[in-house]
Structure 1
């Protein structure tokens, strides 16, 4: 009886596809408008404020002899593009994790994935100095996979499985473990300054080469995310239902974890550990567009990009002329949101 009821839920979702599509399109269009506005502000604001008209001219009528055009093209455009891409990748990563695990607290930083990436990068700084940007990305991928497998491994051997509270505890413990080892490595091999940048999180100083790496990794990861989007929607309703509908749940989860590792690893390799975007944005997106991951993924991309672009703007203005770490600002929003979700889940137990 319960199985038939779940099937009816899937049919109802299909019937409501058209109406929800309209709402999702509105979210996408509004999000893109906010993103364009935020990008223009991000490019114009800085140590030297630049008029929006100059920003427009530099983008569409670039003059290499103009100092302001050089600042925009070489410094501010790649920084803004990196902020948008990192926010998008982290948001999609969190959405996929929450859909696969049916866990509202799942997020790359809580699952130990971002700290695993930063741990691997600290090893690369200490033992392989002068490593190329691509090399750092590969190390970041490996660290992300290590962090995810460690937390999931703990969950497999825990009684009752990996509940939301256990996920938070295991992820926190693993994150502190990797952070502690990274700090010891940084002090022992005199790379503390390099490592501290990754833990602070930010997109200041990102070059076009970093943006290109984000685009490549994002294209691979998000393409895979779209391929499994429908399967993740079914999986989010329960493993038994997914298997009953002929889904290969193990394959979907494997591809989903690959997506998370690729997207998070790329983001951390460029911007460091920026937490809670993957927690906040998927919840907001589901509230706005429903539970269909064919819409959650693109809407999360746009809203995640909007959040990090505006967070990066705030990082420059809060303590001007000094910059506040972007990771600190996202944590100010994310920590209360996390406690709210944890308290709600505890009441549901």
Structure 2
């Protein structure tokens, strides 16, 4: 751990040759956190105020700090709008941090929960749970989601490791896409055969409409544990992102770091998918934006990614409500509108890894 101070010196030559930005920009990170929190608070206020029944921001303030159970608008805010907004922030943060950790551990700019089949693995496990355990509890669904997330990731890495020439960023992405497509197809087949397609439609589309405080009570512990583990290994992920051989040379226990990182990703992604379904591309987009703004120090990337991920999903949810009112567009479709072009750009940039 103490060898982290040598990173700037070791990496400075590469930065000069490749024109990359400095390793760490703490002032930029502080600015990103401050600006992100302001955007988050403003977006949260809009999210609570906007909907089928528009509510004034002053009423939102009164409902939060001077709740009157006899007022219908206050009840709507406390029981419907506020849980939805909090859930969006938590799910966005979980997915963004998962993507950041995966990209840091694998040094793969295309890594993210949905591209590496972690999301599809969770959905596959949820389909099995609905088919064979009707009436399963929310906690049971979350446990199945965790197991599926780990299963999906394990298959992708196994396929990648046994491919000719070993792992490369694009090979890992292609393996993840293939495995994810296969798992999605199996999930759809299970849903149709066992007549649980209606139950599964929410997880396929991805969304946070109808979130209740119970969902947050289940999501929060898993998110908190996953975030705690991530912060514990943040410095080690920074070293690992510079190269595994370099990390070993600096005394890092790379297997331990990767194990903790995978557990964190499974916890964060599993919890997010069990609560909100398959919302894609947040874990792909946000880590890239964050690294561009704050550098490659994961002690800054992780909190900044969490804030920006929360911001993205909250504003995407607002857009989903505004596209075709009074009906709601699945929020996963909104994030895909940004994520698909971004993924194609990254794939084109990394085509030399094929």
- Scaled by the length of structure 2, the TM-score of the pair is 0.94
Are 2:331 and 1:330 aligned?
no
Structure 1 CA distance, aligned partners of 2:166 and 2:216?
Answer: 39
Of the three residues 91, 97, 116, the one matched with 1:92 is 97
Which residue number in structure 2 is paired with residue 256 of structure 1? 261
SS in structure 2 of the partner of residue 209 of structure 1: helix
Are 2:12 and 1:8 aligned?
no
Listed one character per residue, the Cα deviations across residues 48-72 of structure 1 (whole Å, up to 9, x for unaligned) are 0000000000001111111000000
Query: 2:169·2:353 contact (CA, 8 Å) conserved in 1?
Result: no
Structure 2 CA distance, aligned partners of 1:25 and 1:165?
Answer: 33
The alpha-carbon deviation at position 162 of structure 1 amounts to 2.0
SS in structure 2 of the partner of residue 282 of structure 1: helix
Which residue number in structure 1 is paired with residue 196 of structure 2? 191
SS in structure 1 of the partner of residue 350 of structure 2: helix
Structure 1 CA distance, aligned partners of 2:29 and 2:10?
Answer: 20
Listed one character per residue, the Cα deviations across residues 22-61 of structure 1 (whole Å, up to 9, x for unaligned) are 1101100000000000000000001100000000000011
Which residue number in structure 1 is paired with residue 18 of structure 2? none
Structure 1 residue runs without a partner (length 5+): none
SS in structure 2 of the partner of residue 302 of structure 1: helix
Are 2:126 and 1:117 aligned?
no
Which residue number in structure 2 is paired with residue 298 of structure 1? 303
Structure 2 CA distance, aligned partners of 1:264 and 1:108?
Answer: 7
The alpha-carbon deviation at position 7 of structure 1 amounts to 7.2
Are 2:84 and 1:79 aligned?
yes
Query: 2:168·2:353 contact (CA, 8 Å) conserved in 1?
Result: no
Task: Say what the alpha-carbon RMSD is for the aligned residues.
Answer: 1.6
SS in structure 2 of the partner of residue 49 of structure 1: coil
Superposition pairs of residues 141-290 of structure 1, within 5 angstroms: 141-290=146-295
Structure 2 CA distance, aligned partners of 1:6 and 1:209?
Answer: 44
Structure 2 CA distance, aligned partners of 1:304 and 1:210?
Answer: 19
Listed one character per residue, the Cα deviations across residues 256-291 of structure 1 (whole Å, up to 9, x for unaligned) are 000000000000000000010000000000000000
Query: 1:94·1:279 contact (CA, 8 Å) conserved in 2?
Result: yes
- Larger mean CA deviation between 125-134 and 46-55 belongs to 125-134
Of the three residues 326, 332, 341, the one matched with 1:321 is 326
Are 2:51 and 1:46 aligned?
yes
Structure 2 CA distance, aligned partners of 1:10 and 1:339?
Answer: 28
Query: 2:7·2:239 contact (CA, 8 Å) conserved in 1?
Result: no
Listed one character per residue, the Cα deviations across residues 204-245 of structure 1 (whole Å, up to 9, x for unaligned) are 011101112221111100000000000000000001110001
- Larger mean CA deviation between 122-131 and 19-28 belongs to 19-28
Q: How many residues of Structure 1 are paired with residues of Structure 2 in the alignment? A: 342
Superposition pairs of residues 129-148 of structure 1, within 5 angstroms: 129-148=134-153
- Scaled by the length of structure 1, the TM-score of the pair is 0.95
Query: 1:6·1:241 contact (CA, 8 Å) conserved in 2?
Result: no
Structure 1 CA distance, aligned partners of 2:165 and 2:112?
Answer: 21
Structure 1 CA distance, aligned partners of 2:79 and 2:8?
Answer: 53
Moved over 6 A (4+): none
The alpha-carbon deviation at position 11 of structure 1 amounts to 8.4
Listed one character per residue, the Cα deviations across residues 66-96 of structure 1 (whole Å, up to 9, x for unaligned) are 1000000000000000001000000000000
Which residue number in structure 1 is paired with residue 19 of structure 2? none
The alpha-carbon deviation at position 9 of structure 1 amounts to 2.6
The alpha-carbon deviation at position 110 of structure 1 amounts to 0.2
The alpha-carbon deviation at position 176 of structure 1 amounts to 1.1
TM-aligned CA distance change 1:348 to 1:178, over 3 Å: closer
Query: 1:151·1:174 contact (CA, 8 Å) conserved in 2?
Result: yes
